[in-house]
Each structure stands twice: as C-alpha cells, then as structure tokens.
Amino acid sequence: MGPYAFAGGTAVVTGAASGIGEALAAQLAGRGSHLVLLDRDAERLEGVAGRIRADHPGLRIATHVADLADDEATARVAATLVAEHPETTLLVNNAGVALGGRFDQVTLEEFEWVMAINVRAVVQLTHALLPVLKTHPGAHVVNVSSVFGIVAPAGQAAYAASKFAVRGFTEALRHELAEDGIGVTVVHPGGVRTRIAESARTGSGVSVAEYEEGRKRFATLLRMPPEDAAAQIVAAIERRRPRLLIGWTAKVPDVLVRLVPGSYWRLIARRAAPAKPTS
C-alpha cells in the first residue's frame, strides 16, 4: 500500500472543535484535504471551520453538530455523512471523554456515557462509512485510543475499558481491511494538552478532595501541544503506520507492560506518587 494522498481527499474528523481534532483539521487542510468536521460544541466548531475557510478558501469545509453520547443522534449523523459526503477518503475517530473514579465510585449510567462516546460512536461511524471508504482505494481510518489503552490505572476503569476496546477494534479492523487496500492506524496519545481534563466528569461517589488531587496530578502530565501530536498523526497516516505512540508518557508505559505485564502499575504508581516531606 502506497502513501496516503491528502490532496483532493475528504477527511471526516470527530471532536474537531478543540485539541487534537482542531489541530488535525488545520494540518489536513494544509495538506489539501477537504474537511467534514464533527463536534457537539457548535460555537467552537464553527470557529474552527471559519478559520480554516479563511486560510484555505479553495477547500470544502462542512460541519455537523452531534452529541455522540446519544446513540440515535450518532446514527443520524452517520447516515448524513454517507449521504452527503460519498467522497470521503479518511475517517478520524478522535472524539473522546473521560470519567474519574474507581469502579465502585461511578454509576452504570456514568460508565455508559463514556462507552457511548469512546466506543459505540467509533463503531457506528466506522460501520456506516466503510462502504464509502471501500469505493476509494487507498482510503484510511484512524482511531484515537490512549495510553490508557495500553495500561489500566486505578481510578480509570471506564476510560481504560473504552480505550482498550478501541485498540482491539482497530487492530482487528486493520487485519480485515488490508485486502481492501484501506490503511488503519490506532493512536495512543500520552500527555497531550487538550480539553479532555476540563471536560471530564467525576464519578458520583468521588469526594471533592479526591477530585482536586486527581485533577491536579492529571494536569501535570498534559504538556505536549496538540499541534505536535497532530503532526505525528498526519505523518503516521501518510506512512500507513499501524500504531502510533505519542510522547514518552505513552512510550515508557508501553515498554513496562511488555517487560512486567503483571506488575507494571506498581512501578508507575511509585514514580507518579508525590514526594513525601523529609521533615
């Protein structure tokens, strides 16, 4: 399979109103791709689309507002994408949400909210657009997992479950679509500076003190600019890379899981724990 051709293609990008999705949209446009951008935040989404239209007046930029937590809304927007954008050559399932709290601190409704956006929407959109992608030899699919699709920390049962599911789904999809000439990439970002921390929900059973501590520790890891992460994803698409680890916060855990699969978390937790006062 040759390199992916951006110029003249059409890319569908979910979660495009901020973070990695916004940066990806801008960089794909810079490569000559027409864009179909999805997000639930209509105002932010239109701002992103407006800036790209101003910078690239020759490109077609379409927007669709949808809450991917709603299965019926996801099905409707998927049908719209198929009907209105049969020229699609690239699908980037980037939208994602997080939920803090141990499994016994979250409700099943909260757990399902994460699974709906992070897993079911990925499956629904991919399933709907696959027939379209198959009509374009050399098409490509990108599913954004997480470092928590490699390691599963305490307090992230819902998020880790969703991102491990994305990883497994994507790997199977890659093997299935190889004979169709469609490339598939799974992306595992580490500490990328996006809005996922501020938009994350906290389990109903999590105390205020636990929430603040977890939020502060999580925020310290989010250092890489989303533009840097997007550039790596664009390069991986072009080269048809099957798997992309972004940042040392993804690469180091990946190595640890391979070396000590049953005890990696003790090492990571010890390294991440705040230093104790010496006096």
User: Measured between alpha carbons, how far is 27 from 21 in angstroms, rounded to an integer?
Assistant: 10
Starting at the edge strand found earlier in the chain, the sheet holding 183-189 runs 61-65, 34-39, 10-14, 88-93, 140-144, 183-189, 243-246
- Tell me what pLDDT residue 11 has: 98
Give the amino acid at 182. Answer: I
Query: pTM value?
Result: 0.91
Name the stretches of the chain with pLDDT < 70: 192-200, 208-222, 270-279
Q: Coil, helix or strand for 139?
A: coil
* Ranges of H-type helices in the chain: 19-30, 42-55, 71-84, 108-115, 121-134, 157-177, 196-199, 208-221, 226-239, 248-259, 264-272
- Tell me what pLDDT residue 277 has: 33
- Dihedral sign for Cα 115, 119, 120, 122, please: positive
Q: 193 with 223: CB under 8 angstroms?
A: yes
DSSP codes joined into one string, 55-67? H-TTS-EEEEE--
DSSP codes joined into one string, 179-213? GGT-EEEEEEE-SB--THHHH-EE-TT--HHHHHH
Q: 89 with 140: CB under 8 angstroms?
A: yes
Catalytic residues: 159
- Tell me what pLDDT residue 278 has: 30
- Tell me what pLDDT residue 211 has: 59
Which CATH homologous superfamily contains domain 10-272? NAD(P)-binding Rossmann-like Domain (3.40.50.720)
Please state the domain extents for the chain: 10-272
Q: 207 with 164: CB under 8 angstroms?
A: no
- Tell me what pLDDT residue 239 has: 97
